[in-house]
Chains A and B, each alone.
Chain A
Amino acid sequence: MSGSAKSHACKIEISVQEADFDLGALSNQWTDGDVENGAQVMFVGRVREFAQANQQSMTLEHYPGMTEKALRETADIAAERWRINKALIIHRIGELQPADQIVLVMVLSGHREDAFNAAWFIMDHLKTTAPFWKKESADGEGHWVDAKESDDNALTKWDNGSDS
């Protein structure tokens, strides 16, 4: 978006990984010496308690290559739309248990409204565009989690320009 008033450099980092992440360490690392960004929003998505008692784990599959692209595109859109200076998205893959961290969105901005909105938008957008699939396992049997219509609907609230 060259020439746009909103266009500015935003540091964006994306990671798709099996390993867990340390909120405190990441927060320190991303805010070290940073006097510009007074607003920091961190959203963490965790694995909910499974609906079926016999369920043992959840496995996340993704589309290597496309996943990173889709997440970066989501962060780029957020950076064009709101005044944010740093954005970090971490999404885990592989086998996860209830209460495990799945996803982190961290946004740094000079303004809390921009930070909140950008983080919320990134999560809503990620849910419907990033190629991840969840499979739940119980007693050796697996079943794929169906996509929710409510996730599609959540995106529409960003379409009417109500953020500006």
Chain B
Amino acid sequence: MSVKVVYFARLREAIGQSEEQVTLPEGVETTGQLKEWLMARGEPWASALSGKRVLVAVDQEHAGYDASVKDATEIAFFPPVTGG
């Protein structure tokens, strides 16, 4: 299964791209597992997604790291928001 992964703000710059199409490997069923898998690919994901708090959204809704990525079309990772 393929999913679009998008990055914003600090993460987008650290990773060097705003989005990528990813084929989910066996065993990646939650947003947390997806993040671990992206980081396991090495740099720049490893450092960009570690350390500071990283938020996640599934199909444009805020989600937790136990949320399912099954049937999702777009997963977003981004830093805490600073609007207003």
Kindly state the separation between the CA atoms of A126 and B81 in the bound complex, as whole angstroms: 9
C-alpha spacing A148/B61, complex, angstroms: 21
> A22 to nearest B CB, angstroms?
20
- Distance from B57 Cβ to chain A, minimum over Cβ atoms (Å): 6
9 A/B residue pairs, CB under 8 Å, sorted by A: A62-B83, A66-B61, A70-B62, A102-B83, A103-B84, A129-B62, A131-B81, A133-B9, A134-B83
Say whether B84 contacts A61, CB under 8 Å.
no
Known: A45-B84, A91-B83. A63 touches B8 (CB 8 A): yes
Q: How would residues 29 to 63 of chain A score, 1 for a CB under 8 Å from any chain B CB and 0 otherwise?
A: 00000000000000001000000000000001111
Q: A61-B9, A131-B8, A133-B8 are in contact. Are A145 and B82 (CB under 8 A)?
A: yes
Chain A interface residue count, Cβ-Cβ cutoff 8 angstroms:
29
How many A-B pairs have beta carbons closer than 8 Å: the answer is 72
Chain B contact residue count (CB 8 A cutoff): 16
Residue from A45, A130, A147 with most neighbouring chain B CB atoms (10 Å): A147
Q: What residues of A have a CB within 8 angstroms of the CB of B82 in the complex? A: 132-134, 144-148
Q: How far is the CB of A51 from chain B (nearest CB, A)?
A: 14
Residue in chain B with minimal CB distance to A105: B84
Assess whether A133 is in contact with B60, with CB atoms less than 8 Å apart: no
Interface flag for B79 (CB, 8 Å): yes
Q: Which 8 pairs across A and B sit closest by C-beta, in order of nearness?
A: A132-B83, A147-B80, A133-B9, A66-B60, A127-B84, A144-B10, A134-B82, A145-B82
